[in-house]
Amino acid sequence: MKASVLPMNDQERLTRFESELLPLMNDAYNLARWLVKNDQDAHDMVQEAYLRAFKFFGGMRAATSKAWLLRIVRNVCYDHLRERQVPSGASDSNQEELPDADPSPEAALEIKSEIAAVRKALANLPDDFRTVLVLREMEELSYREISEITQVPIGTVMSRLARGRQHLTDLLREMRAKDLL
């Protein structure tokens, strides 16, 4: 509150910004990494998001700083994906996360592990579905916060979650069926 009355110098503004938003860095990174699917790019995305956030800090418009920061992270990542013109979701066959067509014994063993299978299936969901699932299940955000971050109505969040979960369930079933052959 004081900030609007007292002029803040740059250093004070930076200190306040960092104490409020740096604790959210791991959440920001997790989202970015799930969206761009590459370590190096995810680090760059988070750095870029913090820079953008700092420029607009003060004019923050969201229920919580977490929702605000994650919205910026999501936008930075989507811009990047659009620039790279990576086709979204299931069609990007060059992703490291994809199971091999002819899996090695080790890879086959890994697919059998539930977590590895879920990781691969989630990586192969279309971006919009993966985004809402990461925000809901890993960040445990409410529909309202997810709607703020993804900038779509709550009804859309709801249907993306339902379809995303169904899609994921089907993908997992498919992977297991292939693995049994």
Partner 1 sequence: MNCSDLHECIDPFLDNEVDLTTAQKIQRHLDECAACEGCFASRLALRHCLQTPQLRFVPTADLRARIHAQLQKEIYPPSTHFNWLPRFQFPNWILPTLAGAAAVLIFWFGSAPFLSQLRSSSRANGALIEQLVSNHLRSLAADHLFDVASSDQHTVKPWFAGKLNFSPPVFDLSEHGFKLIGGRLDYVGDIEVAAVIFQHQNHYINLFVWPGNQSNPLPNTIFQREGLNLYGWVANGLTLWAVTDAEPEALKAFVQLEKERMTE
Block residue for tokens 């292939």: 178
Contacts of 70 (CB under 8 A, 6+ apart): 24, 27, 28, 31, 135, 139, 141, 149
Scanning residues 155 to 174, which ones bind partner 1 (CB under 8 A)? 158, 161-162, 165, 168-169
Contact 67, 80 (CB under 8 A): no
H or E element that contains 102: none
CB of 34 to partner 1, least distance (A): 7
Closer residue to partner 1, CB minimum distance, 57 or 78: 57
Interaction of residue 136 with partner 1, rule CB under 8 A: yes
Rg, C-alpha atoms of the chain: 19
Query: Which of 18, 79, 97, 174 is close enough to bind partner 1 by CB under 8 A?
Result: 18
**Looking only at residues 58 through 87 of this chain, which bind partner 1 when binding is defined by CB under 8 A?**
none
Token couple for 168: 């994921």
CA atoms within 13 A of residue 172's CA, in its CB half-sphere:
15
Q: Which is nearer to partner 1, 73 or 101 (CB)?
A: 73
What is the rounded distance in angstroms from the CA atom of residue 97 to the CA atom of residue 64? 32
Q: Does 33 bind partner 1 (CB under 8 A)?
A: yes
Least separation in angstroms between CB 41 and partner 1: 12
SS3 67: helix
Please report how close the Cβ of residue 50 comes to partner 1 at its closest, in angstroms.
5
Q: Does 142 bind partner 1 (CB under 8 A)?
A: yes
137 binds partner 1 (CB under 8 A): yes
Q: Are 164 and 137 in contact (CB under 8 A)?
A: no
Asked if 130 and 89 touch (Cβ cutoff 8 Å), the reply is yes
Binding site for partner 1 (CB under 8 A): 10-11, 13-14, 17-18, 22, 25-26, 29-30, 33-34, 39, 42-43, 46-47, 50-51, 54-55, 114-115, 118-119, 122, 133, 136-138, 142-143, 158, 161-162, 165, 168-169
